[in-house]
Every structure is written in C-alpha cells, then in structure tokens.
Structure 1
Amino acid sequence: MQDRTSELRLAEVLVEASDTLSEDFDPERYLRRVAGHCVELLEATAAGVMVNGHSKLSPAASGHPRHLALDLLEIQREGGPCVESLGTGRPVPPVRITAAETAARWPEFTARAREHGIGATYAVPLRQRDSMLGALNVFVPEAALNSLPEGDLRMAQTIADATAVGLHNHRTLRESRTLATQLQGALTSRIRIEQAKGMLAERWHTDLDEAFDVLRRYARKERLVMELVATEVVEGSLDDAALRGSWSGPE
C-alpha cells in the first residue's frame, strides 16, 4: 500500500512539473516546488535546481532550512556535483561526502557540505533533447547513508526530465507569444502607413510612391518612427505644411 501511495504521489509531481503553461507561471516559485517535491519523495535534507540561462547560473532550492541548499549550490561556483552534471549532461551518482576522493574532487563544496551535516549527494541533468537547461542536486543526511535506495537516482532523473519538459514548454510559449506580438505590431504598423499614404496621395493628387517618400523623408528629418508619423497623418494631428516641406511634388 505504501508503494502504491508513493507511485501516485510521484505521478502527481510529474504532472505538476510538466504543467507550465498557466498565465501566472513563476519560474522561481516553480523550481522551488520541484526541489521541495524532491525533498519529500527522496527523503532528503535538501534539494536544489541550478538553471542555465543567459550565460548565468541561477539557483533555486528547498529544504529544512531552505538556505542550506542555497548555500550548497552557491559554493559550487568552484565545482560540485550540480555543476559537473550540468557541464557533462550526465548524472552524478551518489557520493559520500566523507570519502577522501570526494574531498579531492570538490574541496570547497565538500567542506561546506560537512558543516551542514550532509552525508551524501547526487545530481542529475535537466535536459530537453540537445538543450542543457540545468541540473538537479539532492543532499542526503548522514543517517540515511546506509539505507539509500538504489532507485532514488532514477526517481530524481524522472523528476528532472519532467521539469525539463515543463521549462522547455514555457520558454516555447513565451517565445511564440513574443513573435506573435511582433508580427501583429508589424502588421498594424504597415496598415497605418498604407492608410497615411492613401490619404496623402488623394489629398495632394499624387501617386502612392510619392506619398510614401514624403512620409519617409519627414520621419528621417524629425528622427521619428514611420508608424508614428503615419498615425499623426491618419488622426489629422500633423501639420500639413510640415509635410509639404518634405515633398518635392507639385503644389
């Protein structure tokens, strides 16, 4: 029954991790919740996520207390399981903090982890196909060292995979919305310019190309965006004499 309950809880966490398309999505809060679920499901002291974005590593963590995990992520600027997993794109299996080879591998991180009473740690990548989005780091207490389940690394990777899908979907949605906004803006601008061209051509009894040339030369002279000039023409707020000063056509 306990195994069944754990499976259902994991399923809930995976669904939540992949649900990132809401209007009020907050990446930092989302990653803290992911880390919190890892603490719960993996019976860890703390867990943290380090996200790779805009050439900067941004940590998000959960634990008891939360600053413990943040501290262990921050100290990894000089090396640690999370940074190593992010750099290689592969999992870092559980390692004992007290082992001599661990101290030689990540001296500063190991010393800080010992201060916090961490007995072991492991990390898995957040990867969406060929894109490395970050890494998930789990910190285990000394008391749990002898009973660390073999499936915990796989469970952590499963959560990380769902998180990577969620982050990728959110970024794709954000980029598509930005593109849609840009395209709509360009279309609106083009329509407004066409309206202004038509109004000037009819008013001055000239062709559309000449009218467009007037708008363009006036915008350059006044260092204004073409759409703004066109809008003023359409709304009738631009002095006609000012435009005529940029026109080489007939009076």
Structure 2
Amino acid sequence: MRDRTPELRLARVLVETTNTLDDNFDPERYLSRVAGHCVELLDASAVGVIFGGADSPAFAAGGHPRDLALGLLGAQQGGGPCVESLGTGRPVPPACLAADERKERWPEFTALARRHGIGTTYAVPLRQRQTLLGALNVFVPETSPGPCADSEMPLAQAIADATAVGLYNHRAYTEYRTLAAQLQTALTSRIRIEQAKGILAERWHTGLDEAFDALRRYARRERLVMDLVATEVIKGSLDDASLRGGWSEPS
C-alpha cells in the first residue's frame, strides 16, 4: 500500500490554514505558523511573509533560525522577490542567487542571502480573488537535496491560496461581528429610549412625542447622547424640572 504521509501532512496544514474564525486570532502568530509548515513541506531553510498594507507592512517568518527569514525580508527594501510579488500580485519564479543578474537586480538582499547559504528563492502572492493580502517568500539552501524549486512552487502557491482564504475569512468574520455588535447596541439604545418615553408620558400625562421632545431637548442642551439621558430617566436620576426646562405642558 502506498505511503500517503506527505499528502496527509499537506491536508492537515491546509485545514489548519483555513481555520481562522477565532476571536483570539493573531495574524502574525498565524502566519508564522504557516511559514513554519512551509519550511517543512518545501524543504526550505526559511520562509517569510509580508502582509498588511503597503504603507505599514508587517512581517512573519518560520524556520531555524527564525531571524534569518525576518532579516531576508527586511533586506528587500531595495528590491527582492517578496516585495516584487507583493507589488505586482504575481509569482516570482525560482531565481538562482549565484547568477550575476540577481546581484545587480537585488544587491542587498542577494548579498545577505548568499552569506547565509541561500541558493534559490521564489515568492508567491497571498491573493483572495481580487484582494491582495501579502506575499510568501521561500528561501532554499544551496545544499538542498530535495526536489527542484520549480516543482515545489505550485505547492507553495496552494498553501498561499489557502492562507489568503483564511485571512480573508477572518477579516469578514471580524467585520460581521463588529456590525452585529453595533446593531445590538443600537437596538438596546432604542429600547431604553422608548422605555424612557413611556415613563415620562405616563408620569406627565402627555403623549409619547412630547416626552421624546423633552428628552431630545435636554440631551442637546447638556450635550449628552440620548441613550445616556434615557438611562438616567429609567434610573430616576433626573428630575422633571431639569428635563422639561422651558417647555410647558400643553393646555
């Protein structure tokens, strides 16, 4: 029977990568874990991820040492595969860093990578449909005995695609949770205001509209939100004279 261990490992990684609907979700920790899985699955020295907006990008990394990937990402300010993939939204195919053209194209990055024994690098975008969320950069050692980077790149893109789905879903989840909380707050506020109107209308023997006008005038005069005024009415903390102000009961 065929040993399916590699396929099972990849399946577990993909399931974990898309499981992001958690209130305690930490993007940096999540992406560092993804990068760590990529190191194992892609036979790499390190893997780094740039994510977030172009104005304030954040880094995540995996590998041993982890600081290697962070340093290689940081060295790409003058150019490098990850920032190119992030800028274009396209993959950057495997590049041999011993080639002279790489030294000219990415001088700072290539010099640092070569000092740490990195022979090949490539990058793939984290994209969910038309939304570009970041880029994933793989650093392969010169002495790597594993498959060539060209054959590994589709696997890296599959993991990047699953990661983008996870990030996108968590973003949507957070937005929906925020919207639900805002709607619940608005509903609760409206209930309190209606309750306060009813209390005043009954106490003053007047209509609900007149009671609401009194609440609104008091809130404007004191520069308070209506919900706070309604809460104080319900608690009995506001006297009628303060609430009515210059308003007189209809005859």
TM-score (norm: length of structure 1): 0.93
**What is the identity percentage for the equivalent residue pairs of Structure 1 and Structure 2?**
70
Corresponding residue number in structure 1 for 2:36: 36
Corresponding residue number in structure 2 for 1:178: 178
Corresponding residue number in structure 1 for 2:109: 109
Query: What is the 5 A alignment of 1:13-28?
Result: 13-28=13-28
Distance 1:239 1:140 in 2: 75
Q: Secondary structure at the match of 1:98?
A: coil
**Which ranges in structure 2 are unaligned for 5 or more consecutive residues?**
none
Contact 1:120 1:145 in 2 (8 A): no
**Which ranges in structure 1 are unaligned for 5 or more consecutive residues?**
none
Corresponding residue number in structure 1 for 2:73: 73
- How much has 1:206 moved relative to structure 2? 2.3
Q: Secondary structure at the match of 1:126?
A: strand
Q: What number of residue pairs does the alignment pair up? A: 251
- How much has 1:2 moved relative to structure 2? 8.1
- How much has 1:149 moved relative to structure 2? 4.6
Contact 1:51 1:58 in 2 (8 A): yes
Distance 1:246 1:56 in 2: 54
Query: What is the 5 A alignment of 1:80-95?
Result: 80-95=80-95
Change (3 A) 1:145 1:105: farther
Q: Pick which of 177-186 and 102-111 moved more.
A: 102-111
Amino acid at match of 1:130: Q
Corresponding residue number in structure 2 for 1:236: 236
Contact 1:218 1:246 in 2 (8 A): no
Corresponding residue number in structure 2 for 1:144: 144
Distance 2:240 2:161 in 1: 62
Q: Secondary structure at the match of 1:144?
A: coil
The CA RMSD measured in Å over matched residues stands at 2.0
Amino acid at match of 2:49: V
Kindly report structure 1 stretches of 4+ aligned residues shifted beyond 6 Å: none
- How much has 1:78 moved relative to structure 2? 2.7
Distance 2:181 2:82 in 1: 37
TM-score (norm: length of structure 2): 0.93
Q: Secondary structure at the match of 2:174?
A: helix
Distance 1:55 1:246 in 2: 54
Contact 2:35 2:48 in 1 (8 A): yes
Contact 1:49 1:134 in 2 (8 A): yes
Amino acid at match of 1:106: W
Amino acid at match of 1:197: K
Q: Secondary structure at the match of 2:216?
A: helix
Distance 2:243 2:25 in 1: 48
